[in-house]
Chain A
């Protein structure tokens, strides 16, 4: 099972790195399970298996995306490992697909960990802004990219060097309550971003509009989308704008009236 040449391993890690860089930038395709599986198959000399594993995982995950920074099962790395296991063991594409699904779910956590570790970068960047140190800000920003690459390259490396036994071993070692706790935390953490944003906006002054936006999507999410809420928000903003304009216009008109009254007398 561990018969994978050093050259092939290095090439696969390069594919992984390229995929991560693509994932968080222009998404040309290298980030997708389809590409990662196919390219892994190409490296290992069995492009057909790579195509089938990759395409199957791609179609499974079509509707899933990192909407708003949500973490999703890592079908990208799973496609690499699934293809590699399928090719090396000679058990065929279905075997690889079967292994890839639990791997994808298991690796979900690493994306959350990477995103959490970026808080360190964020605070360092904030400090460097105070000294206007561009070099250090750039390094911290790049460190974020590096942890992201590591979060995919490391499991692929371990998975390919130690084989599929490691996957079931890890699944057995990590208690289930940690996994479900991390999943719940992933769903809760966006609340923090929103709370921080509210600190920057005149939240208390315009609480009414916040409540309105919330109610529209909490009760009406079958009818409304965030775009509808934005249009309603625009309408409210326009109403507010006109009422300010009227307030300004009104006293001016009143004073003109007063003068006319005086002239009449």
Chain B
């Protein structure tokens, strides 16, 4: 049992997560770097007297993370609860939980907080606006306040659920981490097929017929290109001289080629 987090710290983390969370969003860790910054005060409270432990946890917390911002409160709450109960021992479990939950939470969260929410409230406001009525703009402001309230509650809901999880399964971390990894990897496999959206835009005209290269690839194996690019990136990252910054330039160059196949082949 390590130190306890005060409610004040949890609130602080919550507000940091609400507003500046995504400022350092980047292609390498996405929201991860911001996540590390957001939980910093909590890490300090838990591991302040052990700089090595604090560094280790901050390194882990700054790793790849991406989900609907509204849903990140739940994950962060559970994360902090687990660490409070189990200390730095919980590192692998926390990592697995974060990567296992972010995908499905984003699936639910993007649908509710981005797609449905916007389609309902912003379209109502827009229809008012088209009639020249500016007061429709108050609708998203009011619902926005409700969203802020919900996100605040999410932090503490995640925290209490994470506590339960931690106390029930404290002696079974290893198998749970394994299971969370299985869930995480299954979801990540699905992400490859859904997040990397590039498809070949190359067609050859042979007489009357137009041959689309992508549709040929699709009959062989759909989403083959995203899978190859991910595995290629993974393989490159294992190389000694490769880091994620260099990988950006490799992928950028690849994009320049793949985005101009039509020009290169002169069709």
Say if the beta carbon of A27 comes within 8 Å of chain B.
yes
* B123 in contact with A194 (CB, 8 Å): no
Contacts of B21 in A (CB 8 A): 24-25
Judged by a CB distance under 8 angstroms, whether A26 is at the interface is yes
Known contacts A38-B134, A188-B229; is-contact A193 B29 (Cβ 8 Å): yes
Complex Cα distance, B96 from A197, in Å, reads 11
Band of interface residues on B:
35 or more
A181 — which chain B residues lie within 8 A by C-beta?
Answer: 255-257, 259-260
- Among B25, B40, B144, B196, point to the contact of A187 (Cβ < 8 A): B196
B residues in contact with A224, CB < 8 Å: 190
Q: Known: A119-B245, A184-B258. Contact between A32 and B40, CB under 8 A?
A: no
Separation of A241 and B181 alpha carbons in the complex (Å): 12
Cα distance A140–B25 when bound, in Å?
A: 11
Interface residue? A134 (CB, 8 A): yes
Contact partner, B190, options A56, A141, A201, A226, Cβ 8 Å? A226
- Whether B170 sits at the interface, judged by CB under 8 Å, is no
**B165-179 to A contact mask, C-beta < 8 Å, 1/0:** 000000000011011
Contact A34 B129 (CB under 8 A): yes
- Judged by a CB distance under 8 angstroms, whether A92 is at the interface is no
Decide yes or no: A244 and B175 within 8 Å by CB, A62-B118, A214-B190, A225-B107 being known contacts: yes
Minimal beta-carbon separation of A227 from chain B (angstroms):
4
Q: How far apart are A59's CB and chain B's nearest CB, in angstroms?
A: 5
Report the stretch among A11-19, A157-165, A215-223, A252-260 that lies at the interface: A215-223
Give the contact-size bracket for chain A: 35 or more
Most buried by B among A34, A66, A123, A186: A34
Q: How far is the CA of A167 from the CA of B229 in the complex (A)?
A: 35
Shortest Cβ-Cβ A-B pairs, 8 listed: A185-B255, A213-B189, A184-B259, A233-B186, A230-B104, A145-B23, A195-B233, A144-B24
Q: Give B residues with C-beta under 8 Å from A.
A: 18-30, 33-34, 36-37, 40, 44, 51, 54-55, 58-59, 62-64, 66, 69, 95-96, 99-100, 103-104, 106-108, 110, 114-115, 118-119, 122-123, 125-127, 129-130, 132-134, 137, 140-141, 144-145, 147-148, 151, 175-176, 178-198, 221-223, 226-227, 229-231, 233-234, 236-238, 244-245, 247-248, 251-252, 254-260, 263
